Amino acid sequence: MEPNQKTVSVAKKYRKRSAFGEIWHRLRKNKGAMIGGILLLILFAVALTIDFWLDQELVIGQNLRARLKAPSAAHWFGTDEMGRDLFWRVLYGSRYSLAIGFVAVFVSFIVGVPLGAVAGYFGGAVETVIMRITDIFSAVPAILMAVVVVSVLGSSTINLMIAVGVSSIPGFVRVTRAAVLTVRNEEYVEAAKALGKSNLYIIFVHVLPNCLSPIIVQTTLRVASAIVSASSLSFLGLGIKPPAPEWGALLTAGRNYILGYSYLTFFPGLAIMITVLAFNLLGDGLRDAMDPKLKR
């Protein structure tokens, strides 16, 4: 056992940090990623705790005397057509929108990425079947698909998330498959096969980690479109019911007043934009931090 103990110290001697430590170290040096991360942290903190400290009345209580007031010290974002304070509504809306964006994308990621990886890696009949089904799914308009899902499962926040998630599965399948196709014929994949590794091991250890870039980009972009499609569903009355201040619903409501009271669309839009930006910044940062080639 003596020599082994010595060798452990040898391997450690040349390593400054653990694998995760290394990623964290590089992520920390990326300003954009840190800003994105902090923004997301704040948003999530607000979304998770807002029920405990914000009076519901402020969010849904109507005050017809204070209708359509422009932003001021009393009402930072102004008030809407029912006289509700837009700032509190936007803040409270994070509770719905973040959950929808996050869960919907999570659903499509969990289903889409493995399907795409399997299709790309194995090829042949497996690929044909998966890709044709994907084609069928993407031939149906996303909104129609979501309508179907919601009407089958019933209208609830969870079902809305699933509906939006299902409609973005094809995107993940396609992107993953395309990325896997470029990697699966690399010689290190062949080398792993020659060593006797199983296909599952090869897909998860050798193939997918080298396909991260396009998948991460796809993920961050999808968060935005998930929030927006959830709002269209709400608009159709299939999602979150008014007066719950989901961001997409706020946008839709504000649209009627866009000429005279543009702040009604501006602030919910800004909230969506900031969230998406934060996801993008963090996603790009993660992608770079996980790529050993970009190590300085």
Partner 1 sequence: MSDTILEVRNLKKYFKTSRGMLHAVDDISFTLERGKTLGIVGESGCGKSTTGRCILRLIEPTSGEVIFDGEDVLQLSGHSLRERRADMQIIFQDPFSSLNPRKTVMQTIAEGVEMRGKYRTKAEIEGRVLELMETVGLAERLINSYPHELDGGRRQRIGVARALAVEPKLIICDEPVSALDVSIQAQILNLLKELQRKLGLTYIFITHDLAVVNHISDEIMVMYLGQTVEKAPSEELFKNPTHPYTKALLSAIPIPKVGGPKRERILLKGEVSSPIEPGDVCRFAKRCSYACEACQKGCPALKETAPGHLVSCHLFGSPGK
Name the site residues for partner 1 (rule: CB under 8 A): 1, 3-5, 7-8, 10-11, 14-15, 186-188, 190-198, 206, 209-210, 290-293, 295
Residue 248 or 285: the one with the smaller Cβ distance to partner 1 is 285
Other residues' Cβ atoms within 10 Å of the Cβ of residue 170: 24
Query: Cβ of residue 216: shortest distance to partner 1, in angstroms?
Result: 14
The torsion region of residue 113 among left (phi > 0), alpha (psi -120 to 50) and beta comes to: alpha
Query: Cβ of residue 179: shortest distance to partner 1, in angstroms?
Result: 14
Nearest residue to 293 via CA among 212, 185, 216 = 212
Residue 57 or 190: the one with the smaller Cβ distance to partner 1 is 190
Residue 7 or 72: the one with the smaller Cβ distance to partner 1 is 7
Residue 169 or 211: the one with the smaller Cβ distance to partner 1 is 211
Cis, peptide link before residue 243, omega less than 30° from 0: yes
Q: How far is Cα 45 from Cα 120, in angstroms, rounded to an integer?
A: 38
Identity at 53, one-letter amino acid code: W
Residue 141 or 292: the one with the smaller Cβ distance to partner 1 is 292
Q: How far is Cα 143 from Cα 136, in angstroms, rounded to an integer?
A: 14
Task: Please give the span between the terminal C-alpha atoms of the chain, in angstroms, as a whole number.
Answer: 37
Handedness of CA 277, 38, 52, 65 (dihedral sign): negative
Query: Cβ of residue 296: shortest distance to partner 1, in angstroms?
Result: 12
Q: How far is Cα 186 from Cα 291, in angstroms, rounded to an integer?
A: 17
Query: Cβ of residue 11: shortest distance to partner 1, in angstroms?
Result: 5
Residue 75 or 206: the one with the smaller Cβ distance to partner 1 is 206
* Whether the Cβ atoms of residue 268 and residue 262 lie closer than 8 Å to each other: no
Query: Cβ of residue 170: shortest distance to partner 1, in angstroms?
Result: 27
The separation between CA 43 and the C-alpha centre of its own chain, rounded to angstroms, equals: 13
